[in-house]
Structure 1
Amino acid sequence: MEQSGTSALLQGAVQDIASDVVSALRGGDHVRMSGTGAMDDVEGSLTLAAVRVLGADLLLPHVLFPTPPAPEALAVFRRTVEAFPPRPDAAPTVKWSHWAMSRTLRRLDTSLAGTPAGDQPPEQDAGWLDEATWQVLTHQLAVLAPLAVPGADCAVARAAQRRPVDVARGFVRAVRRRDWQQAAGAGRWLTLIDGVPETLGLETGLDFVELMGGNDPRVALQVQAARVVRAAGALV
C-alpha cells in the first residue's frame, strides 16, 4: 500500500509539473516551480523524481522561446541532473534522457560556462533504433520526445529522420490503440522530420489526440510542443 501511495504521489507531481510546462508553452512564460524553495526532504525528493520523469521537457519553453528559466526551476533541474546519473547498465532510453537533460542544462545555465560541467557530454549509441521494428521505433521515440527540438542534432534525431514513414505508421497505430501519450510523442517527432507522407494528416491527427487525451498534461505537453515547433516553421 505504501508503494502504491508513493507511486500515486509521484504521478500527481509529474502531472502538476507537466501542467506548468503546458501553461508556459501556451503563454511563452516561465515554468513556475512554486514552493520548491521551502520543500522538506520528502517533498524535495518527490519533486526531483518527478522532474526526472519529465526530463528535459521541464525547461522546453525556455529552449523554444527566448526567455531565461526562473532560478528555482533551473536549480531543481540542475539538482535532478546531478542526483540521477545513469548507471552503466541503464537502458539506452535512460542514458539518452539524461544526456538530453545535461544538454539542456548546459544551454540554459550560464554559470556552467568554462567549467567541466559545461562540457559537451559524449553522445550515446543509437544504433538500436535503426534495427528496431517500426512499432518499437515509435515507442522508443515517444519515450525520447524531449530530444525532439528544432536544430538540436543528435543520433536519435538522425535515426528518426531516416525513417519518416515508419514513424508515421507508428503514429497511426498509437491513435488506433488509443495510446495518446505515444501518439503525441510520435506526432512531435513528425513535426521535425522530412518525408512525412502528406496523406497522414498530421495537423488533424494532433487535434484528435488532444481532444481525446488532452486531459492528461503529459499528452497536452507533447501536442503543444509540436504546435510551437510547427509555428516556428519546422518542416513536416
Structure 2
Amino acid sequence: MAEERQQVEERRADGRGVVPGEAGRASSSLSAVLRDATREIARALEVVPGNGSFALSHLLRPDDPHALVAVRVLGADALVPYRLAGHVPVPEDSLLVGRVLDAFPSGPGGSEVSRWRHHGLVQAARAVLPTGGGAEAADLRVSRAADIVVPDAAWVREAAPARLPHLAAQLAALAVPGAESSPLGAELDARAADLAYGFEEAVDRGDWRRAAGAGRWLALLPGAPSGPLLDEGTGRIRRGAGDDPWVLLQVTAAHLLRDVRT
C-alpha cells in the first residue's frame, strides 16, 4: 500500500494525475508544496550557507502530511543543500525524515527505482543528519534491515539505451559525491557513453527533465565523456526549461558536482 501511495502521489505531484473534487484540491495543494519546496532547495544550492539560511524542517513542517509526501517524492534531494552546499541541518530535520521513513517503508514489492530512491534518502540521512541523543534522533529510523541492505543494480546494464536518461532522471537525487562508487553509480558509469548519447538526444528533443537528470549523473561519473557536451547541454536546458524548479535543481547540482570533480 505504501508503494502504491507513493506512485499515486508522485503522479499527482508532477501533474500527471488529475483528480476531481476534494482529492483534486488536495492534489493541487500537494503540487504547490512540492513545487515551492523544490524551488527553495534549488535556491539553497546557490547561496552561501549561514545562520538560518536553509533548514528542511523549517521549509516542510514535520506535522504537515503534505510535507511527508513532498520529502518522499524529493528523496535524497530534500537533503542535498547539506550534501553539496554546506548548509547545517537542525535536529528537527531528523524528526521529519524519520517520520517519512516510517510512513513510507521500503517493501519487497517495490520497483528497483523505488528501492534505490528509498536507499538514497536513508544514506543521505545517515550522512548529514544529527544522530546523537534526543527524541528527534530516535525518530530517525535508519537501522531497520530493509534500510541497510544495498539494492541490486544489475538491472541497469540491461536497460535499453533510450531508457537510460529516464532512469537517470528518476534517480537523479542519488547523484552526490561518493555515489559513483556505489553499485548503481558503477553500473551507470559502465554505460556512460550511452547515457551521454541519451542526454544529447533529450536536449535536442527539449525533454528537459530527462536531460537534466542525465546531466547530473554525467557531471559525477568518472567515465563520462570529456569536452563541452555537458556545459553546452545544461546551458540549453536552463534556457529551455523556464521556471521548472526541479530542472533548475538538477542543473545547479550538476554544476556543483562538476566543480567538485575538477
TM-score of the superposition, structure 2-length normalised?
0.79
Whether 1:194 aligns to 2:210 is no
1:33, CA displacement in angstroms?
4.2
SS of structure 2 residue aligned to 1:194: coil
Instruction: Pick closer, same or farther for the CA change 1:182–1:35 going to 2, 3 Å.
Output: closer
- Consecutive unaligned residues in structure 2, runs of 5 or more: 1-19
Separation in 2 of the partners of 1:124 and 1:231?
29
1:37, CA displacement in angstroms?
4.7
What residue is the counterpart of 1:102 in the other structure? 122
Deviation digits for residues 121-144 of structure 1, max 9, x if unmatched? 111011111011111122112100
- Consecutive unaligned residues in structure 1, runs of 5 or more: none
The number of residue pairs the alignment matches comes to 230
1:173, CA displacement in angstroms?
1.9
User: Which one is further off, 166-175 or 75-84?
Assistant: 75-84
What residue is the counterpart of 2:197 in the other structure? 169
Instruction: Pick closer, same or farther for the CA change 1:228–1:214 going to 2, 3 Å.
Output: farther
User: Which one is further off, 198-207 or 84-93?
Assistant: 198-207
Separation in 2 of the partners of 1:37 and 1:186?
31
1:199, CA displacement in angstroms?
5.6
Separation in 1 of the partners of 2:107 and 2:182?
21
1:4, CA displacement in angstroms?
2.8
Separation in 2 of the partners of 1:38 and 1:156?
30
Structure 2 counterparts to residues 4-153 of structure 1, below 5 A: 4-29=24-49, 30-34=54-58, 36-37=60-61, 39=63, 44-111=64-131, 117-118=142-143, 121-152=148-179, 153=181
Identity of aligned residues (%): 33
User: Which one is further off, 113-122 or 22-31?
Assistant: 113-122
SS of structure 2 residue aligned to 1:107: helix
Separation in 2 of the partners of 1:19 and 1:7?
18
Whether 1:156 aligns to 2:173 is no
TM-score of the superposition, structure 1-length normalised?
0.88
Separation in 2 of the partners of 1:32 and 1:65?
13
1:75, CA displacement in angstroms?
2.6
Separation in 2 of the partners of 1:109 and 1:159?
28
User: Which one is further off, 112-121 or 129-138?
Assistant: 112-121
Separation in 1 of the partners of 2:59 and 2:250?
25
Which of 243, 256, 259 is matched with 1:215 structurally? Answer: 243
Separation in 2 of the partners of 1:31 and 1:134?
38
SS of structure 2 residue aligned to 1:123: coil
Q: Which amino acid aligns with 1:183?
A: A
Instruction: Pick closer, same or farther for the CA change 1:110–1:64 going to 2, 3 Å.
Output: same
Q: Which amino acid aligns with 2:122?
A: S
C-alpha RMSD over aligned residues: 2.4
SS of structure 2 residue aligned to 1:221: helix
Separation in 1 of the partners of 2:224 and 2:121?
28
Separation in 2 of the partners of 1:101 and 1:89?
18
Instruction: Pick closer, same or farther for the CA change 1:184–1:104 going to 2, 3 Å.
Output: same
Instruction: Say if 1:126 and 1:159, in contact at 8 Å, map to a contact too.
Output: yes
1:86, CA displacement in angstroms?
2.4
1:214, CA displacement in angstroms?
4.1
Instruction: Say if 2:56 and 2:79, in contact at 8 Å, map to a contact too.
Output: no
Q: Which amino acid aligns with 1:165?
A: A
